[in-house]
Structure 1
């Protein structure tokens, strides 16, 4: 008889591959997170082998529960269409099918920022927020997720908006702040321009700011002048795992009971 456990979320990043089973009622891990260094080069074959090790580690915990995997790339119908911080061999590679073939089970492959946004919507900073929510992750580049009335609009790539003739993330990613040695006040000027354009284009109800720099949100978010409320993400580096697990469960038809309280 098949054993039903908690869904597994796995987050593939440029430096690490992290995974944990997730309690979908609370959005919390049910076992200690496991991490492996991302193989170098990060070819599909090498990364999928590492993912298989994560699945093997948690096999007793997850049983036949769904598995969700994030990748730092655009994903359409399981096929990877770009390669941010991973090997270019992923481009036009059917990652979902390859994972399912390797693991012998259903897998849902999603963009990492989309997974993070979905987690923040259901368990984090944007919990219970209806209407239009935009999450941006400030890091090496700028990732984004668009969420409307609890639905995910995938692969938005709002870090690549052209603003003042430049790719937005070339001016406003947190890596630019670090590379140029900008103060938070100087960096906020760049963020003001970026978020003003985002606001003008989408008129969102809420903007959530994620990425590692979000832990220092009190140093720069108050410097921004926007009509839209803008708040820091709360799930930090757990968001991708949590969101991937939930998206996989929903794709498998699992009914998620809302958290009480």
Structure 2
């Protein structure tokens, strides 16, 4: 049964999430910056509800979750997910992490290996060359989306999103309207961008991940860095690397079946 719910974490943040299914195997979906759990709707709809129970939270400051305590510290977002899982008694998870959600997934596997049975990384992002949070605004892609959100300019956001994220397929007009409205709810795009920049995933930390890892990357994702993907696949000794044809950064819209196959494999 699909539902939307929320609860307050011990740190005072109100965490909103989507849930579907009542099966024994639990799935956790972690979204990227400039997005919310709503972007996973196709995956949420596709799961076998008798076999799986799926949880898709909005990260702190994103979508319908609160932003009581502003932070650009990567581990703060990881700690939120730890508390989210503890509250809902989620262990032995299949974790699907997209963008910064991919980095959170890996850190979760390092800090709480009992919570993670399998990891699917969807278009994990490398960092950009910036010395501090303000310097991130010199990156034209980040600057355009942050500016659109600050101005609450949905039309310009849709145009910039189409340019950056939808090189192969664009959502329907109705779906795009919903997604852009979700993105405009975000309170902390620059803070999350810096959290991504300053993540704690050293090579030594990556080598501590022992769970099976599947890395899915879109053929048309203009944000991906080949060297970063090679580093990930090299340091994650249990990882396999798979290119998804005709897919950009938002694989859950371009080819949700590729993600579903990774979940059910």
In the superposition, the TM-score normalised over structure 2's length comes to 0.34
Larger proportion of strand: 1
Larger proportion of helix: 2
In the superposition, the TM-score normalised over structure 1's length comes to 0.34
